[in-house]
Amino acid sequence: MQETDPTFERPLDPGDAAEHDTAPSLSTHTLRRLLYFAFAVLAVMLLILLPPYISVNRYQHRIATSIGNSLGRPVHLDKVSLNLLPLPGFTLENFVVDEDPAFGYEPVIRANSVRATLRLSSLWSRRVEFSTISFTEPSVNLVHLSNGKWNLESILLHAARIEAAPTAQKTSGSAPRFPYIEATGARLNLKLDREKSPFSLTDADFALWLPDPQQWHLRLSAHPARTDTNVSDTGLFELEGTLGRAASLGQVPIILRGTWRNAPLGEVSRFLLGRDAGLRGEMDLTANAQGTVSNSLVQGHLRLTGARRADFVPAQPMDIDLQCLGTATSDFHGFEDLRCSWPPAGSSDAPILALTGTLPDLRNPKSSSIQIGTPGLPATTLLDWLRVASSRVPADVTAAGALTGNIDYAPGPSGTLPLHGGLLLTNASLINPHAGPASLVSGDIALRSTTATPPTPQQAKHHKPAPPAVDGFQLSPVSLALGGKDPATLEGRFDANGCTFHLTGMASTARLLALATAIPQLGDGLAEVLPTNRATGPYRIDLTATRPWGQPQTWTDTSPRTPAPHSHR
């Protein structure tokens, strides 16, 4: 009998068993996709596994010669490797660019690894071009000679003579496209003549490309460092701008913008001076230059926030906002027509200080001339500055008046004071409430420079006292209300050796001590010289103070009531 399916109660077809025993077949589309995938996997495996077995060292000399011809300097390589992922290119090991013997024998550039990525589109034109050249942790030596020459000058001018197409140009043309050159973790060392200076830029990221056939664009970000001292945090230095093509370095058109920001003042002083100058706060510096390397307009902006001394925190630290304009000449070795203002011109705040001058040669500071002036600096601001400089000025001391005048800086022969000019504080007032509401100072305070002159023959013949031997500043007699019926008088002198003060007239002990407390730099040692056998006053005084710079101040009492002169520190 014929068997039946118990479920459907129909006879079983003998072909059904054969159909269940046969594997399902794949469609043509699925087989094609699997084949493509297998080829892709094979291609990736070949790209990964084959490069180490393909030797391109026979092209090492050709590659080094090609790069050397582009730079105008000999180039050496230890090894060349082929890379196919992520883009085809070469890896150059122990890459070295030789120095011009006129600048020394240490290489200009040294890098352990350089990656050069090929432009695939250039292969169709039978010319090899690189889209990117990447340096990893290179060391670059910038050499500056005393005659003003830089070692990179010849490399820049040599590259300017080579015709190149923009970096971003998509299609290959008659001129090769300039590659995108970048460096990460670079170190830039500065050498002056043949000696390496302690200044350098570390952790530098650099990029150079050609956006236009006649113009390069550069970008640099680095941390200033100094090798001969421990500098931990100097902020971030950034430079960006464009360089044009020219026949000489001085004619190269430039548009540059540089910033030095988030720099603690203590570390900035360590970097610039090699020591901690005892300053705290934060600095932000911005500078722009436009023109040519030999002659360009420059603009600088300096901001100091929370500036103070390191040994104490004043109630109100100093904030400085200074803007400068000028002309950079002689490849940035000199600056002419400098004009600086604090606050910047156009600010809603009242002007505080103005600076003008010239610096013909930064390498010869004695050639500089600078003038600093103020149209009316409030005495309250001067007192605030004094509190930033010294923690000994009482907070309840007040001042009034306006300071005007100019001070010129013009270095002269050795031993002379390079400062000249005069300052006038009009309607001066200084009140120490511990000595009453009356001002300790009345009238004006004038400070003017004096010039040393040799004694005349008549003075030498009659043995007359000779004038001061050095230039200095003379403090004109200042009227002081020190508790006597008649005002006392203070005179003084400042020169390159130190300062002296002469205080005469009627005074009381309380008012004298109030003056010493209000201006601690003037009052140092004054309390010790006052005799204890006198009444509180008023009484007649004749006191002289001498302070050589960097040493303690000494007061001498030659008052008439004193039996014999004696000195106290």
pLDDT tens, residue by residue, 409-452: 887 776 667 889 999 999 999 999 988 899 999 899 999 998 76
pTM recorded for the entire structure:
0.81
**Burial of residue 453 (number of CB atoms within 10 Å: 0-12, 13-18, 19+):** exposed
pLDDT at 17 over 70: no
Contact status, residue 334 vs residue 377, Cβ threshold 8 Å: no
Q: How far apart (Å, rounded) are the C-alpha atoms in residues 157 and 161? A: 7
User: Across the chain, what does the average pLDDT equal?
Assistant: 84
Report percent pLDDT > 70 for the chain.
Answer: 82
Q: What is the mean pLDDT of residues 251-256?
A: 95
| Residue 100 host element (H or E) | none
On the CB side of 223, CA atoms within 13 Å amount to: 15
pLDDT at 281 over 90: yes
Q: What confidence category does residue 68 fall into, taking pLDDT thresholds of 50, 70 and 90?
A: confident
pLDDT tens, residue by residue, 471-504: 889 999 999 999 888 899 999 999 888 999 999 9
Q: How far apart (Å, rounded) are the C-alpha atoms in residues 301 and 321? A: 7
pLDDT tens, residue by residue, 94-142: 999 999 999 988 999 999 999 988 887 655 556 677 889 999 999 999 9
pLDDT at 18 over 80: no
Q: What is the mean pLDDT of residues 175-198?
A: 91
What pLDDT shows up at residue 7?
Answer: 45
pLDDT at 402 over 50: yes
Q: What confidence category does residue 66 fall into, taking pLDDT thresholds of 50, 70 and 90?
A: confident
Sign of CA dihedral 229, 231, 235, 240: positive
On the CB side of 322, CA atoms within 13 Å amount to: 18
What pLDDT shows up at residue 29?
Answer: 66
What pLDDT shows up at residue 397?
Answer: 94
Token pair 């009659």 is found at 462
- Look at 230 and 30; give whichever has higher pLDDT: 230
Collapsed DSSP state (helix, strand, coil) of residue 42:
helix
Q: How far apart (Å, rounded) are the C-alpha atoms in residues 212 and 178? A: 10
Q: What is the mean pLDDT of residues 561-565?
A: 45
The set of residues, in sequence order, having a beta carbon less than 8 Å from that of 488 and lying 6+ positions away, is 479, 480, 481, 482, 503, 504, 505, 506, 507, 541
Q: What is the mean pLDDT of residues 12-34?
A: 57
Q: How far apart (Å, rounded) are the C-alpha atoms in residues 405 and 372? A: 9
Enumerate the β-bridge partners of residue 308: 280
Q: How far apart (Å, rounded) are the C-alpha atoms in residues 544 and 554? A: 8
pLDDT at 371 over 90: yes
For the record, the structure tokens of 54 come out as 């393909």
| Nearest C-alpha neighbor of 380 from the set 393, 392, 367, 366 | 393
pLDDT at 553 over 90: yes
User: For residue 365, what are the CA distances in angstroms to 24, 340, 358, 418?
Assistant: 93, 18, 10, 12
